[in-house]
Structure 1
Amino acid sequence: MAHYAERPGGRARTRQSVDVFGQRPSSTRHPLVAAAMVLPLAALLAVVFGGWDAVVTQASSVAGMLGR
């Protein structure tokens, strides 16, 4: 077991988390990146489980409310 020396500020040195690419994870992700990650899986699940008609119906309803 490793012991860490005390820092002058009274805080012990801690290990930083690192992702699989050796990068520190950022605290935020751009919304377009998040959408690009989620939409292919959402489309696949909608097709596999037969919910594609419901998705189209909801999208057309939202578009109608927005006036398009």
Structure 2
Amino acid sequence: MAHTAGRTASRVQGRLAAATSAFGARPGGRRHPVAAAVMVLPMALLLAVVFGGVEAVVTQASSVAGILGR
């Protein structure tokens, strides 16, 4: 049984490496910033819409515009 654990771990690592390379990961565990943004932005936009973050951003932007306009 001990000899199969090593093979299973190596297969899992191989699959993980293949999956991360599909999403723009670089050797050493670093991901290209554009790939990271593409992965994060859809969820960020969804959360902003669901929890009302869009209105908060608009309110803050109009406040800053008012301050800068004075």
Match of 2:51 among 45, 49, 53: 49
Q: From the two aligned structures, give the one with the greater helix fraction.
A: 2
Q: How many residues align?
A: 50
Question: Superposition RMSD on alpha carbons, in Å?
Answer: 3.1
Query: Structure 2 vs 1, CA of residues 24 and 52 (structure 1 numbering), >3 Å: closer, same or farther?
Result: closer
Query: Structure 2 vs 1, CA of residues 24 and 35 (structure 1 numbering), >3 Å: closer, same or farther?
Result: closer
User: Which residue of 2 is the match for residue 40 of structure 1?
Assistant: 42
User: Which residue of 1 is the match for residue 68 of structure 2?
Assistant: none
Which ranges of structure 1 fall in alignment gaps of 5 or more residues? 5-13
How far apart are 1:55 and its partner, in Å? 3.0
- When the two structures are superposed, what TM-score results if normalisation uses the length of structure 1? 0.50
Bigger Rg over Cα? 1
- When the two structures are superposed, what TM-score results if normalisation uses the length of structure 2? 0.49
How far apart are 1:40 and its partner, in Å? 1.2
**Structure 1 runs of 4+ with >2 Å offset:** 53-58
Which ranges of structure 2 fall in alignment gaps of 5 or more residues? 21-25, 66-70
Match of 2:10 among 9, 15, 40: 15
What fraction of aligned residue pairs are identical, expressed as a percent? 49
User: Which residue of 2 is the match for residue 8 of structure 1?
Assistant: none
How far apart are 1:56 and its partner, in Å? 4.0
